[in-house]
Structure 1
């Protein structure tokens, strides 16, 4: 993520974020281990928000992986415009997926994709809560 988008609260909570993300990945995938790394870039101009995931596993079916990644990307794009899969590579022993998020709208700079995702998630949850209350 770009350094200007990583405020004090983000920086103070990085250890918790990393632990929570590693635990979630292990729980959702059944993997024995997961390793999360965070890169805060001081580059000027600030780079877009990027995420990459590598899965070390043999026997992955490339067509099924690509289909699953596209399905997930389409779901994310409904609430996070600017989300894009930039790479999806499947080999005999490793699968790597990379995504980039460009913030949309006038309130956030384009490189603040991490904040764009947080805002979109908050809006989605608020809408779901409002819908549930209206029932």
Structure 2
């Protein structure tokens, strides 16, 4: 194969991350990501619970019964989305994330104030190289 063609093909192949990257954002936030990064919406659980509780009456007994009926009527896909949203909130709490977007790299570094995963990886790699040099 021609070396120039090989170089072009290597540029077109997807980037494989050496690090594990998790992005925690609000649904309305735009984050530039890279292949292999996992993106979570930390406000998904709130959106789902607001939708389930919309229009419930103030009477606790009636509201409880209506909420149970709504939950029972949820599709399997909606229930899976609810479970995922709850896990995301738990994972964000585990990482002690205090604002979004937050980019977690290798489960040990959280980078705030950056909405570009490539930039966050550069920051992390510089920090990690400095830590390794100590």
Higher helix share: 2
Q: TM-score, normalised by structure 2?
A: 0.31
Q: TM-score, normalised by structure 1?
A: 0.31
Q: From the CA coordinates, give the structure whose radius of gyration is larger.
A: 2
